[in-house]
Amino acid sequence: MGKFLKFERDGNSFIFALDGLVFVDQASAKTTLVYSNMRRDGSQLAVTFPTAALSASEQTEQRNAMVNAVAEALAGPWTQPFYTFTLPHPLNGNPEITEV
């Protein structure tokens, strides 16, 4: 059974599987979750949360909050596959899924 992380912000919910999560990155004013082997051809996918409107310290806080949420979700019991988390700062648009 898989585990899932549910991000909530600005009245929107985004659900992501934690299987295959490789790392969380902060680059170019965006926080990115990178997954491995999520496609049949073995290529990686990235889920990018736009945070351009945030200051550098807020972007770091947002990234660290995501990392902590992933850790808490994975530490939870398997009888609770969803972990709901509210992002501390607003997003500057919806998350984008792209190939890495």
Q: Which residue has the tokens 């919910």?
A: 13
Domain ranges of the chain: 4-99
Distance CA 74, CA 70 (A): 6
Helices (H), the chain: 56-75
pLDDT of residue 38: 58
Cβ neighbour number for residue 52 with a 10 Å cutoff: 11
Nearest to 91 by CA among 2, 34, 13, 5: 13
Distance CA 54, CA 87 (A): 13
Distance CA 38, CA 20 (A): 7
Decide if 16 contacts 8 (C-beta within 8 A).
Answer: no
Instruction: For the chain, 100 residues long, give each residue's pLDDT as a single digit of tens.
Output: 688 888 777 777 888 888 777 777 776 666 666 655 556 677 777 777 777 778 888 888 888 888 888 888 888 888 888 888 888 888 777 777 777 7
